[in-house]
Chain A
Amino acid sequence: MKLIYLGCLSKRLYESTCKNAVKLIQFLDEDFKIMEDAPCCGSLAYHITSDEIMKEHIDFVNDWFKTNNVTDLVTICAGCYTYFIRYYREFAGSDFNVNVQHVLQFIAEPANLEKLNLNYSGTPFKINYHDACHLRNSSIPIIDEPRTILNSIDNIEFVEMDFNKTKSLCCGAGGGVYSAFKENSDYSAKAILDNMKRGKALLTACPFCFTALTKVRDENNIKKPIIKFEDFLIKLLEGVDPLV
């Protein structure tokens, strides 16, 4: 089975983003399905859980994949992606037999990009993309993919932030820190917003970054839109203003 793995945070807070991601993925491959009872990958617990207990959790999730015959998985959450790629193989070894892709990676495949045929004929604008730690830190980093996607669209000029790729700034919300010390992202997410100079909007592919960035943007009365990557692409496909 081919599974769309939404991730706990997106499922709870960002229903419309989830719908958009599902639309994109199913447009490219209609065999992909959602399953409501998919268990949490465990990413939030990793930093504070012993290897033995983590292995138990990973085995549980892996067994669920096996029971449901999951062969391919596209995740829309940056945290789930890095966790599956970095740690499931480490803990479960060859027993973990799922082909995992992040939605940006899936979209950036040449055949898929061609099928999507992204285009924009409105007023040209510049846009920034924030490299989430979860995507750039993975053992298979997602760094080129968002750039490939953005650079393929006419009239949209992708511009790099000062700190980008493996040297991007952190939003301050990772590692579960947002639950205990929100104060971290008050400064760190603001630093990212200060870092975008020329872009009309900021794209992110991580729901944790999105949460921290939008909160800090609203608190600081910043007008530039912060947009989840999937939402941005759907707007392009539907021919509506992608910056609203």
Chain B
Amino acid sequence: MSDKGKELYGHVKERIDVLHEPGTLESNFGLFWKFASSIKTRQHDMKYIYDDSSREFVEKNRDRFIAMKDEFLHNMDYYVEKCIKVMRETNNMTVHYAKSNEEAQEIFMKEIGDTEVIYKSKSNEAKDIGILDTLRENNITVKETDLGDVLVELFEYKLPSFGVGPGAHFTKEEIVAKIKEKQGVELEPTASAIVEYYRDNYRKELLNDVKVSLTSANVISAEDGTIVLGENEGNISLLTRATEKHIVLCGITKIVPTILDAILVAKLQTRINNVSFNYISLISGPSATADVQGEKVLGMYGAKEVVVILVDDWRTKALKENLLYKEFLKCIGCRTCNYICTASRAFGNIYASKYGLGADGIIRAYIHDGIEAAVKDGLFLCTGCENCRHWCPVSVNIAEITKALKKEATEAGLCPPPLKAYQEKILREKNPFR
């Protein structure tokens, strides 16, 4: 039995103990997450919002989702090239293709020049690309704008959190107490008072002070180089308009062949996450006018510059070398697998990595930090129930990826000892209980 396997098993067990200790950060999140994920799952049938249901929407369009991702992956180089060309030549965007996360980080640092404060919207891609660590290392202040992330920042919450509502596990009382402690302002413990406070105080800053803003993209259309960004709060609208430079940083697999594909993906993301996407921005270039004698000038009221950094890193390698997580390239980031995951529901942010909750976070931990990191983050909590496969709107077989990771982990001596003992008895005695 490997010592490392024992050690990692002990580590995960300890974290589960913390999860079950009332009042800990993990436990509070766990309670909230169980509630949120079951609501999300139930609300896959949002009959009270739409005439049809979300499940029907997914099933009706499933073939198209699969076809568009297959088409993109079969011709990935073509679509990436096409997208970059139209963004540069037609859309007046500055486009960088970064082969690795490190290259993307370097390009980003060059693009921001001497700017000391970056305003950003919520972005899982930023975590995958590791840009936040780079900015911190370079003493650049990163200001979140999504209220959930603003709250996470307020509480200095370091654990993985809920993608859609990152701060939704803090109670109103905790929030107003924290605002009083940090900002000396007393507020009524109501959602509207907290929202009003940020609207009154933060909105002005977002309208006037943003020089460089950072967003990801929900999806990008290769056909016309359009970046699609969905949101409820209006922070993305401000960050993409009331700024000098809007930087879009995301992986190349955000690209889909056509604009109609892109809109369908954005609508799917809203349906799955039960958010309405009150605003969907289709950004096809910087703000421009030709009203002075037909002469085109960039930067009227909106962003003067739109910079797109498309990151490859693990993606082409996974495709060309047929790596075990190749299927993961089809993911559209809708989070369904996370809401329906047995381990994720039972273990909250114990079954998660710094890249996010659930199997998605674990697979990214494996991609960037290796098999030991994946085991440490809870790989073996997965029961292999395959709910992720059954519910995924693009039929990504995430379950097969986690199975392959478990095999790799076991070969590296990282399997939890009780499970390993069963395996040895089966193979030796032909009976796990003998």
Q: Which residues of A contact B (CB under 8 A)?
A: 8-9, 12, 39-40, 42, 44-45, 47-50, 53, 57, 60-61, 133, 137, 162-163, 166-167, 169-170, 172-177, 179-181, 183-188, 191
B431 CB, nearest partner CB in chain A, Å: 5
Q: List 19 A-B contacts (CB under 8 A).
A: A39-B430, A40-B430, A45-B426, A48-B415, A48-B420, A49-B423, A60-B430, A137-B386, A166-B390, A167-B390, A172-B383, A176-B419, A176-B422, A177-B419, A179-B418, A181-B380, A183-B20, A185-B346, A188-B342
- Of chain B, the residue at the smallest CB distance from A181 is B381
Contact (Cβ within 8 A) A175 B20: no
Q: Contacts A170-B385, A179-B422 known; list 11 others, CB within 8 Å.
A: A48-B420, A133-B385, A167-B387, A167-B390, A175-B384, A176-B423, A177-B380, A177-B383, A181-B16, A183-B347, A186-B346
Contact (Cβ within 8 A) B432 A177: no
CB-CB under 8 A for A49 and B422, given A60-B430, A170-B342: no
Q: How far is the CA of A222 from the CA of B156 in the complex (A)?
A: 41
* Contact among B9, B16, B346, B423 for A188, CB-based, below 8 A: B346
A12 CB, nearest partner CB in chain B, Å: 5
CB-CB under 8 A for A177 and B381, given A44-B432, A183-B346: yes
Contact (Cβ within 8 A) B406 A48: yes
CB-CB under 8 A for A57 and B427, given A12-B433, A40-B432, A180-B9: yes
Q: How far is the CA of A206 from the CA of B427 in the complex (A)?
A: 23
Contact of B391 with A by CB under 8 A = yes
Q: How far is the CA of A97 from the CA of B290 in the complex (A)?
A: 75
User: For residues 345 through 393 of chain B, which have their beta carbon under 8 Å from a beta carbon of chain A?
Assistant: 345-347, 380-387, 390-391
* Contact among B390, B391, B407, B419 for A179, CB-based, below 8 A: B419
Contact (Cβ within 8 A) B34 A187: yes
> Which residues in B have their C-beta under 8 angstroms from that of A180?
9, 380, 416-419
User: For residues 397 through 424 of chain B, which have their beta carbon under 8 Å from a beta carbon of chain A?
Assistant: 403, 406-407, 409-411, 415-423
> Which residues in B have their C-beta under 8 angstroms from that of A137?
385-386
A215 CB, nearest partner CB in chain B, Å: 14
CB-CB under 8 A for A44 and B410, given A180-B9, A188-B342: no
> Which residues in B have their C-beta under 8 angstroms from that of A166?
390
> Which residues in A have their C-beta under 8 angstroms from that of B391?
167
> Which residues in B have their C-beta under 8 angstroms from that of A40?
426, 430-432
CB-CB under 8 A for A184 and B407, given A44-B432, A137-B386: no
Contact (Cβ within 8 A) A170 B432: no
- Of chain A, the residue at the smallest CB distance from B425 is A40
> Which residues in B have their C-beta under 8 angstroms from that of A172?
342, 346, 383
* Contact among A12, A42, A174 for B384, CB-based, below 8 A: A174
Contact (Cβ within 8 A) A191 B432: no
Contact (Cβ within 8 A) B426 A175: no
> Which residues in B have their C-beta under 8 angstroms from that of A50?
407, 410-411
A6 CB, nearest partner CB in chain B, Å: 12
CB-CB under 8 A for A45 and B423, given A40-B432, A179-B418: yes
CB-CB under 8 A for A184 and B427, given A49-B410, A179-B418: no
**The 5 nearest A-B residue pairs measured at CB:** A170-B385, A175-B384, A39-B430, A180-B416, A187-B346
> Which residues in A have their C-beta under 8 angstroms from that of B232?
none
Contact of B343 with A by CB under 8 A = yes
Contact (Cβ within 8 A) A183 B16: yes
> Which residues in A have their C-beta under 8 angstroms from that of B20?
183
Contact (Cβ within 8 A) B383 A184: yes
Q: How far is the CA of A50 from the CA of B409 in the complex (A)?
A: 10
Q: How far is the CA of A130 from the CA of B23 in the complex (A)?
A: 34
CB-CB under 8 A for A173 and B383, given A40-B426, A44-B432: yes
- Of chain A, the residue at the smallest CB distance from B340 is A167
B20 CB, nearest partner CB in chain A, Å: 7
* Contact among A48, A162, A188 for B410, CB-based, below 8 A: A48
- Of chain A, the residue at the smallest CB distance from B431 is A40
Contact of B38 with A by CB under 8 A = yes
Q: How far is the CA of A9 from the CA of B433 in the complex (A)?
A: 8
> Which residues in B have their C-beta under 8 angstroms from that of A61?
430
Q: How far is the CA of A44 from the CA of B430 in the complex (A)?
A: 11
- Of chain A, the residue at the smallest CB distance from B410 is A48
Residue of B346, B347, B387, B411 most packed against chain A (CB within 10 A): B346
B425 CB, nearest partner CB in chain A, Å: 8
Q: How far is the CA of A47 from the CA of B416 in the complex (A)?
A: 12
- Of chain A, the residue at the smallest CB distance from B350 is A183
> Which residues in B have their C-beta under 8 angstroms from that of A187?
34, 345-346
Contact (Cβ within 8 A) A47 B384: yes
Q: How far is the CA of A128 from the CA of B401 in the complex (A)?
A: 32
> Which residues in B have their C-beta under 8 angstroms from that of A44?
422-423, 426, 432
- Of chain A, the residue at the smallest CB distance from B381 is A181
> Which residues in B have their C-beta under 8 angstroms from that of A174?
383-385
Q: How far is the CA of A61 from the CA of B355 in the complex (A)?
A: 42
> Which residues in B have their C-beta under 8 angstroms from that of A177?
343, 380-383, 419
User: For residues 92 through 135 of chain B, which have their beta carbon under 8 Å from a beta carbon of chain A?
Assistant: none
Q: How far is the CA of A42 from the CA of B342 in the complex (A)?
A: 23
CB-CB under 8 A for A8 and B419, given A166-B390, A188-B342: no
Q: How far is the CA of A186 from the CA of B34 in the complex (A)?
A: 13
Q: How far is the CA of A48 from the CA of B386 in the complex (A)?
A: 16
